[in-house]
Amino acid sequence: METLSSIWQGTLNLEALNTLNQGSLGQNMGIVFTEMGNNFLVATMPVNEKTKQPFGLLHGGASVALAETMGSVATWCCVNRELFIGVGIEINANHIKAVLSGYVKGVCKPINISGKLHIWEIKLFNEANELCCISRFTCMVVAKGRF
């Protein structure tokens, strides 16, 4: 069996990824990174009063916020974190199946991570492991402090 080399730069762990969410939208929505492989990230988000729309379903915007959080963090993991960050420049999402309760799990994998534009595919699954949303996120690598 072939061993994949990691796309991530330097030493990383789930604690470091979850620390990024402190004091941010990710923390407010309950996003937690739960797994990190050589070329993917997994995070969960509860389906509750903070993430539902008025009709009791997971809000599409919450799904997109999870996807963008995961893609931005994934880009941050791929670059020299002393010098660069990633900022979202485009995202789309197809909402496939309604989610009423529990949690959703996002799986983020690269489509292209060369140069200054990183493109990520983020799939969201319900607790029955059914695909609920698929998103494509484009992130631009920029120098830290540019803003």
Read off the pLDDT of each residue in 95-119 and give the average, rounded to a whole number.
Answer: 97
Tokens representing 97?
A: 């199946």
Does a structural domain hold residue 108? yes
Looking at the 3D structure of the chain, how many domains does it have? Answer: 1
Does a structural domain hold residue 136? yes
Does the annotation count 121 as an active-site position?
Answer: no
CA distance 77 to 54: 35
pLDDT digits (tens, 9 = 90+) for 19-66: 999 999 999 999 999 999 999 999 999 999 999 999 999 999 999 999
CA distance 64 to 58: 11
Does a structural domain hold residue 29? yes
CATH number for 103? 3.10.129.10
Q: Within 13 Å of residue 64, how many CA atoms lie on the same side as its CB?
A: 11
Does a structural domain hold residue 71? yes
Full domain range(s) for residue 123: 14-143
Does a structural domain hold residue 70? yes
- Is residue 1 predicted with pLDDT exceeding 50? no
Amino acid at 92: N
The pTM (predicted TM-score) of the whole model is 0.95
Beta strands 103-112 and 41-46, pairing class: antiparallel
Per-residue pLDDT band at 125 (split at 50, 70, 90): very high
DSSP string, 7-59: -S-S---HHHHHHHTTTSHHHHHT-EEEEE-SS-EEEEEE-STTTB-TTSSBP
Amino acid at 55: F
Does a structural domain hold residue 36? yes
Read off the pLDDT of each residue in 62-71 and give the average, rounded to a whole number.
Answer: 98
Read off the pLDDT of each residue in 62-86 and give the average, rounded to a whole number.
Answer: 97
Does a structural domain hold residue 116? yes
Which of the residues 35, 68, 82, 90 is marked catalytic?
68
Does a structural domain hold residue 7? no
Question: Each residue of 99-117: b (16+ CB within 10 Å) or e?
Answer: beeebbbbbbebeebeeee
